[in-house]
Amino acid sequence: MNSLAISVSNLTKIYGERSAVSQASFEVPMGTVCGFVGPNGSGKTTTIRMLLGLITPSAGTGSVLGESISHPQRYLPQVGAMIEGPAFYPALTGAENLKVLANLGGYPISRVQGLLEQVGLGDRGGGKFKTYSLGMKQRLGIAAALLPQPKLLILDEPTNGLDPSGIQEIRELLKELASDGTTVFVSSHLLSELEMISEYLVMLRLGKVLFSGRTQDLLSAQQPILVAKPEYAIDLGKIVEIARVCGHEVSVVEGAANISAPSDWSASLNRMAFEAGVTLSTLTSVLPTLEETFFEMTNNESAGGE
Amino acid sequence: MFHVFLAETRKLRRPTLLFSTILLVLAISGLFTSLLYLLINSRDGNGRRGQSITALTLSKSNGLVSGFVSTATLLGVVALCIFAAQTAQEYTFGTLRNLLVRQPSRMKLLMGKYLSMIFFALIMDFLSLIVSVSISYGLAGHAHVSTVAWSTAAGFHALAQSFWNVFLATIGFGTFGMILGLLLRSPISSIAIGVIWVLIVESLLGAVVKGADKWLPGTLIGAVGNGGDAGLTYSRSLGVSLAYLVVGSAVVALLFKRRDVAN
């Protein structure tokens, strides 16, 4: 059995002079939740469309569930997808919209009601799609993606328009699916959400893959930040000065000095602060969040590219 | 392909589309057939383009279907709108990507869609025939038209032949609409261009350019529905319109198969 749900190598899509995706290579192991992140226009949706056979790549190769992406009919029956937001027929009800897709894929119609209930639309399936709120449309899109009971679920911004409880429900749903062995490949702008659920991560910028691998590997490779807050705000300048003299980058955030330094430097900082007559009320070492790492990496990349 | 057919049929039977189409078809058939009998002695004529169709003509074996046949072009225009809208809306709603994920074979998707719309057209024509025949029988006495020949073998043959011709014309107009829908990817544009072309541009060209009606697709398809028109034989109309539609369909099918689905 193939251990990779998705594998692409040098995948490229060129529109005229513009390269939407440029030699992207990454792998997504089976049974994991993989986050797919990148700023708007970074090529996420184009990549997803190539994986689903909607767009023909200009170059490169790829496979989904062990089958080449040039033969999507071989793997799509086992793939559920929601691409670039939910798209349905406005004049049909939510349930009818799902039944159209169930007919099309040859799935039992009896599955529809269960799916509507699973995504929290059990009592609204009879309402027309055009009357749905953005969050309800999004839920219907997820229900449609779950219709084939997929081995691989590809979701493009599934939490768009959802309220915090809706986001939490989707997060739990994705975790549950992953625990049942479904591979989830999910793109989102909510990096904090992805950090909570993604074991793997593919990071894209300007059509190029910046990182692909375990989320933990990415985060632990980052320089930790020492957060030092003096007892009296007036002493903040002295902390900043100590850090700079010792050659560490420092920024001030909400009355505290955020110092890019190894966590074992905290003892030295504490001592030097004491010698300078400053009492620290907070001194902790934190790893950067996915969001901070993402901005750090994309900024470095753009600085390097300029 | 059967799965695609089922899915498309589900979309076509939505109440707003189904009932409005049925009402429209019933209105067209009812109006055209009623006027044929009610204006039978009118000096302005009771047929197309002021033509007078006498009680004697209507009493012939093919008289029963005169009203139904005269609706061919309008039924075709209805089909054009439905085929165009059903095809182009997949682009405007963005639903094509969902359909292609569930049915990656684009040709199967297109064929299933086409067959379901043909089925819809068949029902539409059948309803129209029933209304027209019922009104014909109902108004025959009022117009002093004998119905004896209508129920002979020749009458039934004429009925079947006319239904087939009108059905072919409806599919022809519908295919024209589908071609426009796939080319333009917008229901409004494809319907507007299709209807304006068939009802206005072709009429103007036919009136201004001598012999143009022998080559205009809408006129030719309409002639198929009428079983041939003055100056346009049935076989020529069928052959040339078929050639137009086959070439057009092949081009758009190729486009549909190759084109990236990027919206």
Out of A46, A56, A88, the one facing B95 most closely (by C-beta) is: A88
pLDDT band at A57 (very low <50, low <70, confident <90, very high): very high
Within 8 A of A89 by CB-CB distance, chain B residues are: 11, 14, 89, 93, 95
Yes or no, beta carbons of B104 and A72 under 8 Å apart: yes
Position with higher pLDDT, A300 vs B117 = B117
- Give mean pLDDT, residues A40-50: 88
- Give mean pLDDT, residues A18-36: 89
User: Whole-angstrom Cα distance, residue A49 to residue A55?
Assistant: 6
Q: Which residues of B touch A (CB under 8 A)?
A: 3-4, 6-7, 10-11, 14, 16-17, 89, 93-95, 97-105, 260-262
Beta-ladder partners of A35: A186, A201
pLDDT band at A250 (very low <50, low <70, confident <90, very high): confident
Tell me which residue of B93, B263, B90 sits closest to B182, measured CA to CA: B90
Q: What is the DSSP letter of A231?
A: S
Within 8 A of B14 by CB-CB distance, chain A residues are: 89, 91-92, 96
C-alpha distance from A236 to closest chain B C-alpha (Å): 52
Please check whether residue A90 touches B, CB under 8 A. Answer: yes
User: What is the per-residue pLDDT for A300?
Assistant: 60
Yes or no, beta carbons of B10 and A100 under 8 Å apart: yes
Q: Give the DSSP H or E segment for A21.
A: strand A18-29
pLDDT digits (tens, 9 = 90+) for A121-166: 888 888 899 998 888 888 899 899 999 989 999 998 888 777 888 7
Please check whether residue A91 touches B, CB under 8 A. Answer: yes
Contact between residue A291 and residue A197 where contact means Cβ atoms under 8 Å apart = no
Residue count of chain A: 306
What is the average pLDDT value for chain A, to the nearest integer?
85
User: What is the per-residue pLDDT for A306?
Assistant: 37
User: What is the per-residue pLDDT for A305?
Assistant: 42
Residue A44 tokens read as: 């996420």
Residue type, A88: F
Query: Does position A191 have pLDDT exceeding 50, yes or no?
Result: yes
For A6, A27, A28, the CA distances from A3, given in Å and listed in that order, are 9, 10, 9
Structure ipTM: 0.82
Out of A83, A96, A147, the one facing B10 most closely (by C-beta) is: A96
Yes or no, beta carbons of B261 and A55 under 8 Å apart: yes
Yes or no, beta carbons of B3 and A89 under 8 Å apart: no
pLDDT band at B120 (very low <50, low <70, confident <90, very high): very high
Predicted TM-score (pTM) of the model is 0.81
- Torsion angle, alpha carbons of A55, B185, B99, A163, to 10: 90
Domains for chain A: give ranges and CATH numbers. Answer: 4-220 (3.40.50.300), 225-286 (3.30.70)
Within 8 A of A90 by CB-CB distance, chain B residues are: 93
pLDDT digits (tens, 9 = 90+) for B156-210: 999 999 999 999 999 999 999 999 999 999 999 999 999 999 888 988 888 888 8
Q: What is the DSSP letter of A262?
A: -
User: Whole-angstrom Cα distance, residue B28 to residue A131?
Assistant: 33
Query: Does position A278 have pLDDT exceeding 60, yes or no?
Result: yes
In this structure, how many other beta carbons lie within 10 angstroms of the beta carbon of residue A178? Answer: 19
Yes or no, beta carbons of A90 and B93 under 8 Å apart: yes
C-alpha distance from B128 to closest chain A C-alpha (Å): 26
Contact between residue B132 and residue B32 where contact means Cβ atoms under 8 Å apart = yes
pLDDT digits (tens, 9 = 90+) for B53-88: 777 788 888 888 888 888 888 899 999 999 999 999
Out of B4, B7, B93, the one facing A87 most closely (by C-beta) is: B93
- Give mean pLDDT, residues A199-203: 88
Residue A286 tokens read as: 């934190």
Least trusted range by pLDDT, from A111-120, A215-224, B59-68, B168-177: A215-224
